[in-house]
A and B are shown apart, each in its own frame.
Chain A
């Protein structure tokens, strides 16, 4: 793809024009190109409407941002996106969470199937029919516990997604026919999820990513390299599709509803020009290219069935068009399908104004489809509130030309739905006032306890030297001092008698997270220790593991006669998360980021204060 044709995109003077041009262009878009396009779309009139989006996720989502910006901008929205800390799901439904602070219009839950239940780590096909039935109920219960926690808050429209299976079902191509079919189980589960969302959770929507997978194809949906290296699953195509869906939800909430589809006739409903080619000369029928137009008519009737109004607006002799509508054997859309018609030689903008008056609807609710560049430009100029779609020149693209139009995605959201979320929030506030504030904290604690977390703490273990070095190099967020060490330095610390290298791994009912935390401690005096490094992978944030680890170390040191612990917090752009950690654990803040605790006055907390069982591996060195 030459740069020339890419740069042509920037001559588009309206967002719908840019969108049409992009749709007709093949080939991938690079990230810098994506940014330029988004900037261009943002610069066009009218001004963008803000959309506040909150993303709660168990896998990497930040790489979606450029796509969200582009699809948002193409649809007139400026996205303000908050990504919750990685892996923090229900923690974000608690008071004081970043999600609540962000005040989103739309909350997108990006969950994986394996998050829903520990038993899902085994293939579905390995369970008996009865076990599968029980699993279905338990998964629904767990999932809706999570969804309801979110719905208690005023966090806008909730969009729930489950990442599609990365692989074909365990039983392969015979899965569908098996009585333990995994795909049947998931189909049943998704149907139940959709029903429950519809009936029990106001202002919510289950966005079935399997539909996107079907559109894109499994091999094109996932980018395995990105998944295995960065835990981000999406190919560019999938990311774009997902961003488009999210933008559609925003459009439904923020922009005037589309109600009317106003179509041209020539080269839109049929190939050719009726006035010149005659009823037998236009392309409309079972052969190419007529069959492409028949398909488009079928799609238009589907939109009508969904509740959109069809009107005809064509520069033609009325009798010519009438002949096709009444007599042509392959014409699917008949006169009675149109709520109104303007077939004449008047300027299109005038006709549209007249149609709007007749239907008693605003022009901002109109989507106009016309094949002529000239007419489209004229409309964009005189009636900027109308959304204009230029019918593609290639017949094979015509039937799908309305799929880009976000406002044609219907969403069962009404003012009542959104008001209901406020009611929910008020109801909850009322209940809360009656109960202890600890109640909601206890709720989270109950959840954490249900994870059955076990921490293994080890000391001076050179088998982990490489992993620990890697942790110092890659951990940016929960890192008090951000000191980077290579493997040799870690080994040196392990060997040094005045340094202690402590690490931990965390297991829960879902599995083992591996070695995720590190503390480097230096003995300054017989009774004093300085904390050079204290960090934890973002994989396990939000579970009190950092506190459990620290107090395990403090208890141990105190037993050995150490009472003075000093530590530092060195702020960086990325470690705001850890700013108050030391103070919360009982340290006193001093100058310049230094902290200190006297364990004789401020005892280390016992293991029972944390929802984690701690096991200390015996040390070879006896310290």
Chain B
């Protein structure tokens, strides 16, 4: 499974939304469940799913699928 599909599952599973609602361009404003609490939950899930270590500063940046994919690429997740 490629990184995007893993991420799609992680977002859908965390925010309790259908997988189809998460596209390669989805950003937080597109999903009502991706509010401030949903975002925090998602950050924790990303850490565990992809075995990365997020800083607080990363929290504020990673508010869209493209941003998260770029981060994962930068941190060697292929």
Contact = CB atoms under 8 A, between A and B. Distances in A.
- State yes or no: do A and B come from one complex: yes
Contacts of A232: 40
A31 B37 contact: no
A31 B40 contact: no
B32 A573 contact: yes
Contacts of B64: none
A616 interface: no
Interface residues on A, range: 20 to 34
B40 A229 contact: yes
A228 B43 CA distance: 14
Nearest to B58: A225
Interface in B15-61: 16, 32, 35-37, 40-41, 43-45, 48-49, 54-56, 59-60
A226 interface: yes
Given A232-B40, A476-B35, A30 B48 contact: yes
Contacts of A30: 10, 13, 44-45, 48-49
Nearest to A36: B13
Interface string A192-228: 0000000000000000000000000000000011101
Contact of B56 (A28, A228, A474): A228
A32 B13 contact: yes
A229 B59 contact: yes
Contacts of B14: 31-32
A232 B37 CA distance: 10
A572 B37 CA distance: 17
A225 B55 contact: yes
A32 B10 contact: yes
A230 interface: yes
Interface string A386-425: 0000000000000000000000000000000000000000
Chain B: number of interface residues, binned into ranges: 20 to 34
B41 to A, nearest CB: 5
A62 interface: yes
A353 interface: no
A173 to B, nearest CB: 28
A441 to B, nearest CB: 32
A31 B59 contact: no
Nearest to B39: A230
A474 B40 contact: no
Contacts of B48: 28-30
Contacts of B40: 63, 226, 229-230, 232
Interface in A1-40: 28-32, 35
Contact of B37 (A35, A60, A224, A228): A60
A31 B56 contact: no
25 contacts: A30-B44, A30-B45, A30-B48, A30-B49, A31-B13, A31-B41, A31-B44, A32-B9, A32-B13, A32-B45, A35-B16, A63-B37, A63-B41, A225-B54, A225-B55, A225-B56, A226-B44, A228-B56, A229-B56, A229-B59, A230-B36, A230-B40, A474-B36, A573-B32, A574-B35
Interface of A: 28-32, 35, 60, 62-63, 224-226, 228-230, 232, 236, 474, 476, 573-574
Interface of B: 9-10, 13-14, 16, 32, 35-37, 40-41, 43-45, 48-49, 54-56, 59-60
Given A29-B48, A226-B40, A229-B56, 4 more contacts: A30-B44, A31-B41, A224-B56, A225-B59
